[in-house]
Amino acid sequence: MTKQQLTTSSSTTPRILGLTGGIGAGKSFVGQMLVQSGLPLMDSDAVARGAYTESEQVRQQVTALLGAEVYNSEGEPRYDEIARKVFAPSDAGQSLLHRLEQIIHPYVSERLQAWAMEQYAPEGWVVLESAILWQSGFYRLCDAVVVVTAPEEVRVARVQERDGATREQVQARIARQASYSLTALQQAHPELPIYPVNNDGVQELEGQVKQLLALLATL
């Protein structure tokens, strides 16, 4: 189902607000504030993880791609083994990751569109939270996007406290993520309203979220 089909299938279908940001920026915290404001939210990362067990088609395709060993004897995915294969520092690893994404991302897109059509959204919007909104192409399903930002030092400290990771480990994870400036995103996608929320621990978040909701109401 295309975005056009989604938006024209029902006059009451809510619009989709993409929510993204780098590790440690606090997008999930902002997401919970949007939920408290009345916007339903779907976490695409959680849906993607569920795809390995909830869809028999996905299970078969993943097994064919990565081998039966990526599931344990009880049929549960071995995420550590999947990660070992697709994040291997080689061209083969990159190829496997790309092919795995071609299996998982369509499943997530279908689930999102079906979910959005089922929601009661009095504010007229639902939220798609995704760490890989741009890389996955999920942004194409969105009517607007929020990018949560924070200085790298703040992000590193947050992830260290949350995960018990070393500074070097966190910086390596940040380096693996795609980096996009707000200006570059707005220039690349002039058709898509893109709004920043600065979660630096200094600027007050509640006011920014209220301002965001007011802007969404004008679209």
**Same-domain status, 107 and 166:** no
pLDDT > 90 fraction of the chain, expressed in percent and rounded = 63
Tell me what pLDDT residue 99 has. 96
User: Which residue from 121, 151, 168 is spatially nearest to 21, judged by alpha carbons?
Assistant: 151
How are strands ordered across the β-sheet holding 125-129? 41-43, 125-129, 15-21, 144-149, 194-198
Distance CA 116, CA 125 (A): 9
Tell me what pLDDT residue 6 has. 41
**Same-domain status, 127 and 194:** yes
Strands 41-43 and 15-21: unpaired
Tell me what pLDDT residue 110 has. 93
Cα dihedral: 98, 104, 109, 110 (round 10): 140
What residues of the chain score a pLDDT lower than 70? Answer: 1-12, 176, 178
The model's pTM is 0.83
Domain extent for 27: 1-40+122-219
Domain boundary, last residue among 118, 134, 154? 118
Domain boundary, last residue among 85, 118, 151? 118
Tell me the pLDDT tens digit for each residue of 59-102. 999 999 999 999 999 999 999 999 889 988 888 888 999 999 99
